[in-house]
């Protein structure tokens, strides 16, 4: 079933923030917290520092009305920088790869920072910033 979630980026405080949100909304994480060290090494990517290995790669928490709040830590070592405006993303999880591709094609038109949906180790994923400056993610879990 398709759903929408809100994806939050933090500068090393994802776990702290999500433990707080867990108390506020009185719910539990929908899956264990994934750490950067849990991802398989990517070809050509630099090795992670010990500090970066323990940063949060992904966390998911149901909040109200079926909405999922998701989050990650940005990695300065990978050239990422947290600034107001890139600290959230609307994450769409459509029912099919074809629908993810359609949404990406339409939302990325005249936009920037596009990564077309493609297969990753966890599923089918892509992202873009639309022509209005809103960040979108497309994600179909395996």
The predicted model scores a pTM of 0.72
Domain boundaries, the chain: 3-34+53-141
* Residue percentage of the chain with pLDDT more than 70: 98
Per-residue pLDDT of 6-50, as tens digits, reads: 998 888 889 999 998 999 889 999 999 999 999 888 888 778 889
pLDDT at position 137, please? 93
Can you say how many angstroms the Cα of residue 70 is from the centroid of all Cα atoms in its chain? 7
Residue 20 backbone dihedrals phi, psi, to 5 degrees: -65, -50
Specify the CATH number of the domain 3-34+53-141: 3.10.180.10
């Amino acid at each position: 079933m398709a759903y929408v979630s809100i994806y939050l980026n933090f500068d090393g405080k994802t776990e702290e923030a999500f433990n707080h949100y867990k108390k506020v909304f009185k719910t539990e994480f929908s899956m264990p917290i994934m750490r950067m060290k849990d991802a398989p090494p990517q070809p050509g990517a630099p090795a992670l520092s010990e500090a970066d290995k323990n940063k949060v790669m992904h966390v998911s928490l149901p909040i109200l009305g079926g909405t999922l709040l998701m989050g990650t830590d940005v990695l300065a070592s990978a050239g990422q920088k947290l600034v107001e405006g890139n600290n959230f993303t609307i994450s769409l999880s459509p029912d099919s790869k074809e629908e993810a591709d359609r949404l990406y094609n339409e939302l990325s038109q005249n936009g920037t920072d596009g990564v077309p949906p493609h297969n990753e180790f966890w599923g089918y994923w892509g992202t873009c910033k639309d022509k209005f400056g809103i960040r979108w993610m497309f994600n179909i879990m395996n």
